[in-house]
Structure 1
Amino acid sequence: MKLYHHPLSGHSHRARLFLHLLNIEHDEEEVDLAARGHKSPEFLRLNRFGQVPVLVDGEHVIQDSNAILVYIAKKAGATQWLPETPAEAAAVQRWLSVAAGQIAFGPAAARLVTVFGSKFDVDEVIARAHAVLNVIDDELQSRDWIADIGNAHPTIADIALYSYIAGAPEGNVDLSGYRNVLAWLARIEALPGFVPFQQTAAGLRA
């Protein structure tokens, strides 16, 4: 396996983190976003959208971070990370959708403003971030992991949410009021094989 990634991309970190948590042997190649390596003809042959991450596994080329999480879990037979029963699989998918929706347009977008200079409405994306964090904090009141499947083990839903929530302070999103979220972040960071999301001196971390 080979993972094409960028260290400041939370989408990339999801894939990289999961590979390390499962201790899957793989190579990593950093794509130079500043030099527009993700828009090169070579990279566009891997992902026509010109986005990281991309996972190459033999003849299989997997684009999209959440799709990569599903692929890795299925290939490894890691049913503790991606359950097989319809109800439990749906509970995990619910939060993958949140990662692609409310997280992407909330804390991820807020961080894009400070780290990459994106032109989002700052107040709007920070408000979106707090809206989804309030929901997640409430969900974590009664359980350790985000998917409500009565599981004592994390799932790929936790991995999909982790990176941009951990990096939210870089987008001026204060996590200090979210006690359950902070405890959940600490639980993920204590998992064997955990690799941190590279931080920048931006936002509240400046």
Structure 2
Amino acid sequence: MSNAVRIHHFAKSGHAHRALVFAKLAGIAHEAIPVDLGAGAHKSPEFLAMNPNGQVPVLEDGDVIVSDSNAILVYLARTYAPDWIPSTAIGEANVQLWLTLAAGEIAFGTCAARLITVFGAPLEPEFAAAVATKAMQKLEQGLVGRDWLVGDRPTIADVATYSYTAHAPEGNVSLAPYPNVRSWLDRFEALPGFEAMPTTAVGLLAEKGE
């Protein structure tokens, strides 16, 4: 896989899953390189040389290094999968709105709630739950009468918002009130090349369809 991009990841990180699932959906040749967070590999000098923040994912493409999951999505789309990002200014602006949601309410809401329940993160559960509700409400409204968040086909907006939404029940965030979101998750998971992020509790993801 000498011509493949390299994606440094942790299997149960939704941020890392964004990068990996996009590479699979878009048919981008890639090598997935696990990072042992438990052993502190993300704080090693070698890893910090790629990303001083010590976080996954990190993308290597030859001499190019990109960190931050949303930045990786933009880079991969622009370089290898232009169909996944609109060519018009307004289309790209609309994608950016959802990337902002992914980095904002989803990160501090559904992601944080999952960090608390799954990894024991010392965060505030009530605050995470409230922010998660706002994020899910925005997704639900954004999908009214639409199959995808921007335009008539999936884009990196859908990729950026998918992983932590699908795994929201792991953080005790119910998807039952959001029928548009649940239908969208089903469409996303039916895309050719889709590969799920590992679950951390049996049966939790089934809730999104019930």
**Alignment partner of 1:16 is 2:12:** no
- Indicate conservation of the 8 Å contact 1:137/1:180, yes or no: yes
Q: Deviations over 1:6-34 (max 9, x none)?
A: 01100000000000001111111100111
Q: Which residue identity is paired with 2:157?
A: A
SS in 1 for 2:201: coil
**Other-structure match for 2:58:** 54
Alignment map for 1:43-122 (pairs within 5 Å): 43-76=47-80, 78-122=81-125
Q: Which residue identity is paired with 1:14?
A: R
Distance, in Å, in 2 between the alignment partners of 1:138 and 1:26 is: 34
Q: Deviations over 1:94-116 (max 9, x none)?
A: 11011000100000000000111
SS in 2 for 1:128: helix
Calculate the TM-score normalised by the size of structure 2. 0.92
**Other-structure match for 1:28:** 32
Count of paired positions: 201
Q: Which residue identity is paired with 1:180?
A: N
Give how far 1:204 is off: 5.0
SS in 1 for 2:188: helix
Distance, in Å, in 2 between the alignment partners of 1:185 and 1:201 is: 19
Q: Deviations over 1:106-137 (max 9, x none)?
A: 00000000111111111110111111101211
Unaligned stretches of 5+ residues in structure 2: 206-210
Q: Deviations over 1:66-90 (max 9, x none)?
A: 01001110111x3321112111110
Distance, in Å, in 2 between the alignment partners of 1:186 and 1:75 is: 28
- Indicate conservation of the 8 Å contact 1:170/1:202, yes or no: no
Alignment map for 1:138-149 (pairs within 5 Å): 138-147=141-150
In structure 2, the CA distance between the partners of 1:99 and 1:162, relative to structure 1 (3 Å rule), is same
**Other-structure match for 1:162:** 162
Calculate the TM-score normalised by the size of structure 1. 0.94
Alignment map for 1:161-200 (pairs within 5 Å): 161-200=161-200
Unaligned stretches of 5+ residues in structure 1: none
**Alignment partner of 1:41 is 2:45:** yes
**Other-structure match for 1:133:** 136
- Cα RMSD after superposing both structures: 1.3
Q: Deviations over 1:20-66 (max 9, x none)?
A: 00111111110011111111111001100000000100000011100
Q: Which residue identity is paired with 1:110?
A: A
